[in-house]
């Protein structure tokens, strides 16, 4: 089933970070990505640097300021820490997608613009998303060089050793928004992108005895773009979403799920590359072995060794695993997911996941509603 905006797939995600060069080394060595593009002073851009990394369909841009005049990047990082500034979808016709979105209430950020050089041209436009986040429409049909016009081969001689992780692209991108904003943003997607609400987790569906959240998943009609939106829900203690909103200082992208056809190979490689994951107790796998309704090809001993989670749906199953927050603030993290016929988001794993996150929140002193004194471990 096609979608009305002519959306083909996810394109790139751009992070604003404190140091793009150092982040690029971390993304390359940990996620197993190649650093293939660069803009900066050497290429004529004086106030910022951007590194472009790719692996199969996954495209990531890391940008940081190198001059005080680069206020846009500096103010973002100052307020939010390292985080997702914009994510892009590839569309058949940028003008058409942008016109549809703005006619249906989208806040415009950038009108369609053609960026060109001797290798061809790329067209881009952007609309507002959450607080300081943007959603970009891009078409690169007439460009066949490094990422976008302006990007060159990185001047640094970069040689990074890593295990091949086999990541193929983006599965979904999740936003965290303030209390009572979830419906507003779900409606925004549904009206401006002609999306539909696919899943609606209500009070009591997701949570532990301490913390809870509400979540809606909106998606394009052909399901190539899936965008869960979470908001905090009142509970005895502070939820992970409240912690995110406090530490990020607003609404933004919480996690990006990356697809793999072989999660055992992927997680094995990621662990060797130094990625840090949320822990899962052994009791989870005892329960998994006892579940008669789950038949999976993978060996449960392998899942237990690598701490991979499994969830069953009527149409199939999925395997998934979540990293710890990748930066200094407990905000953005990655998920890795292998879908075997399942279209959901691992609802059966929420309990184990939340308990694991709460343990980390407690260590940070962010689980209780009132700040508590954290006893340093050393």
Residues within the interface to Fe ion (CB under 5 A): 257, 335
Q: How far is the CB of 171 from Fe ion (least distance, A)?
A: 8
Pairing verdict, β 48-55 and 133-143:
unpaired
The DSSP code sequence of 109-162 is: EEEEEEEEETTEEEEEEEEEETTTEEEEEEEEEEE-SSSSTT-B--SS------
Residues 107 and 119: beta-carbon distance below 8 Å: no
| Residue closer to Fe ion, measured from CB, 134 or 335 | 335
Q: How far is the CB of 376 from Fe ion (least distance, A)?
A: 32
Q: Write phi, then psi, for 239 (nearest 5 degrees).
A: -80, 165
| Residue closer to Fe ion, measured from CB, 137 or 350 | 350
| Residue closer to Fe ion, measured from CB, 193 or 257 | 257
Q: How far is the CB of 172 from Fe ion (least distance, A)?
A: 6
Q: How far is the CB of 140 from Fe ion (least distance, A)?
A: 27
Three-class SS of residue 313? strand
Q: How far is the CB of 175 from Fe ion (least distance, A)?
A: 11
| Residue closer to Fe ion, measured from CB, 149 or 346 | 346
| Residue closer to Fe ion, measured from CB, 82 or 335 | 335
| Residue closer to Fe ion, measured from CB, 51 or 284 | 284
What angle is formed at CA 315 by the lines to CA 233 and CA 292, rounded to 5 degrees?
90
| Residue closer to Fe ion, measured from CB, 288 or 353 | 353
Q: Which of 331, 306, 150 is nearest to 253 (CA)?
A: 331
Q: How far is the CB of 320 from Fe ion (least distance, A)?
A: 7
Q: Which of 80, 78, 53 is nearest to 68 (CA)?
A: 78
CA 338 and chain centroid, separation: 16
What does the alpha-carbon distance between residue 188 and residue 196 come to, in Å, rounded to a whole number?
A: 11
Name every residue whose Cβ is closer than 8 Å to that of residue 338 and which is 6 or more positions away in sequence: 259, 260, 261, 262, 263, 266, 318, 319, 320
Q: How far is the CB of 178 from Fe ion (least distance, A)?
A: 20
What does the alpha-carbon distance between residue 259 and residue 297 come to, in Å, rounded to a whole number?
A: 18
């Amino acid at each position: 089933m096609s979608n009305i905006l002519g959306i083909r797939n996810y394109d790139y995600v751009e992070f604003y970070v404190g140091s793009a060069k150092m982040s690029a080394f971390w993304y390359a060595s940990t996620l197993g990505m190649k650093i293939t593009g660069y803009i900066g002073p050497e290429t004529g851009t004086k106030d910022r640097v951007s590194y472009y990394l790719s692996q199969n369909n996954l495209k990531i841009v890391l940008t940081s300021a190198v001059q005080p005049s680069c206020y846009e990047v500096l103010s973002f990082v100052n307020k939010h820490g390292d985080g997702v500034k914009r994510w892009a979808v590839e569309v058949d016709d940028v003008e058409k997608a942008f016109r549809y979105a703005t006619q249906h209430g989208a806040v415009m950020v950038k009108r369609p613009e053609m960026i060109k050089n001797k290798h061809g041209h790329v067209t881009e436009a952007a609309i507002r998303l959450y607080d300081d986040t943007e959603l970009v429409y891009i078409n690169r049909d007439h460009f066949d060089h490094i990422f976008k016009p302006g990007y060159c081969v990185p001047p640094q001689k970069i040689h990074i050793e890593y295990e091949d992780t086999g990541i193929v692209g983006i599965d979904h991108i999740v936003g965290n928004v303030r209390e009572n904003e979830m419906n507003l943003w779900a409606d925004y997607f549904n009206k401006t992108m002609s999306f539909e609400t696919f899943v609606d987790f209500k009070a009591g569906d997701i949570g532990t005895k301490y913390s809870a959240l509400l979540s809606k998943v909106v998606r394009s009609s052909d399901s190539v773009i899936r965008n869960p939106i979470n908001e905090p829900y009142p509970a005895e203690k502070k939820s992970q979403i409240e912690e995110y909103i406090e530490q990020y200082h607003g609404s933004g992208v919480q996690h990006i799920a990356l697809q793999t056809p072989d999660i055992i190979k992927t997680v094995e490689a990621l662990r060797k590359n130094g990625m840090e994951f949320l822990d899962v107790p052994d009791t989870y796998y005892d329960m998994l072995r006892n579940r008669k309704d789950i038949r999976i090809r993978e060996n449960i001993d392998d899942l237990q060794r690598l701490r991979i989670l499994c969830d069953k749906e009527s149409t199939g199953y999925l395997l998934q695993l979540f990293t710890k927050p990748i930066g200094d603030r407990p905000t953005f993290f990655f998920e890795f997911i292998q879908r075997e016929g399942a279209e959901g988001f691992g609802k059966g794993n929420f309990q184990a996941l939340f308990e694991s996150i709460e343990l980390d929140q407690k260590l940070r002193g962010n689980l209780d509603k009132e700040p508590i004194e954290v006893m340093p471990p050393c």
